[in-house]
């Protein structure tokens, strides 16, 4: 597993001045949360990249094309991801009756079980990471993050 010893960047936290510090903290917080989730999902046999895909699939079967639009990966990349999910028996491809070029990708029963276990782990971790936030702080944090995302997509 690559990157098990992770850059802790501002090693003891000598943050730069100004807004760069905000960006760096954003990166550090994301990475810390991401790595922690990946580590906790691993013993369940759940890859963190598969986790996101399965979330979408759990709401209803989708074609690979639809998944590509949701997730944004290249189609050839998605082929391999779905291959892996099929190998693990977590999802299956079935021909779309309306468009016989396309496959419907569906979560299997086994996939649902594993996803449920992963969701439980993710919920526990979420409680640990974010549960201390008061309702107001949580709402405010979401607002701020969404505004940042919006700003990043706007020219200026």
Partner DNA sequence: TATTGTTATACTCTATAACTATA
Partner DNA sequence: TATAGTTATAGAGTATAACAATA
Stretch that binds a second copy, among 67-75, 79-87, 91-99, 106-114 (CB under 8 A): 67-75
Contact residues for DNA (CB under 7 A)? Answer: 2-5, 49, 63-65, 68, 73-77, 79-80, 82, 93, 96, 99-103
If the CB atoms of residues 2 and 136 are measured against DNA, the closer one turns out to be: 2
Instruction: Please answer whether residues 105 and 63 qualify as being in contact, where contact means their C-beta atoms are separated by less than 8 angstroms.
Output: yes
135 binds, among DNA, a second copy, none (CB under 5 to 8 A by kind): none
23 binds, among a second copy, DNA, none (CB under 5 to 8 A by kind): a second copy
Instruction: Please answer whether residues 127 and 78 qualify as being in contact, where contact means their C-beta atoms are separated by less than 8 angstroms.
Output: no
39 binds, among a second copy, DNA, none (CB under 5 to 8 A by kind): none
Pairing mode, if any, of strands 91-95 and 103-107? antiparallel
If the CB atoms of residues 110 and 147 are measured against a second copy, the closer one turns out to be: 147
Pick from 129, 127, 121, 119: which is nearest to 54 by CA?
119
Identify the burial level of 125 via C-beta atoms within 10 angstroms of its C-beta, where 0-12 means exposed, 13-18 middle and 19 or more buried.
middle
11 binds, among a second copy, DNA, none (CB under 5 to 8 A by kind): a second copy
Q: Which residues have C-beta within 8 Å of that of residue 37, sequence separation ≥ 6?
A: 48, 122, 125
Least spacing, CB of residue 95 vs a second copy, in Å: 25
Task: Tell me: does residue 18 bind a second copy (CB under 8 A).
Answer: yes
């Amino acid at each position: 597993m690559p990157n098990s010893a992770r850059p802790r960047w501002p090693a003891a936290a000598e943050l730069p001045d100004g807004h760069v510090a905000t960006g760096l903290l954003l990166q550090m917080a994301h990475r810390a949360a991401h790595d922690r989730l990946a580590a906790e999902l691993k013993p369940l046999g759940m890859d963190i990249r598969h986790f996101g895909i399965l979330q979408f699939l759990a709401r209803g079967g989708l074609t690979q094309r639809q998944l590509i639009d949701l997730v944004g990966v290249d189609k050839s990349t998605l082929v391999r991801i779905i291959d892996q999910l099929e190998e693990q028996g977590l999802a299956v491809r079935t021909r779309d009756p309306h468009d016989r070029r396309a496959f419907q990708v569906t979560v299997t029963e086994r996939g649902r079980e594993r996803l449920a276990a992963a969701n439980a782990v993710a919920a526990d971790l979420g409680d640990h990471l974010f549960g201390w936030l008061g309702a107001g702080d949580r709402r405010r944090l979401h607002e701020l993050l969404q505004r940042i995302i919006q700003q990043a997509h706007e020219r200026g």
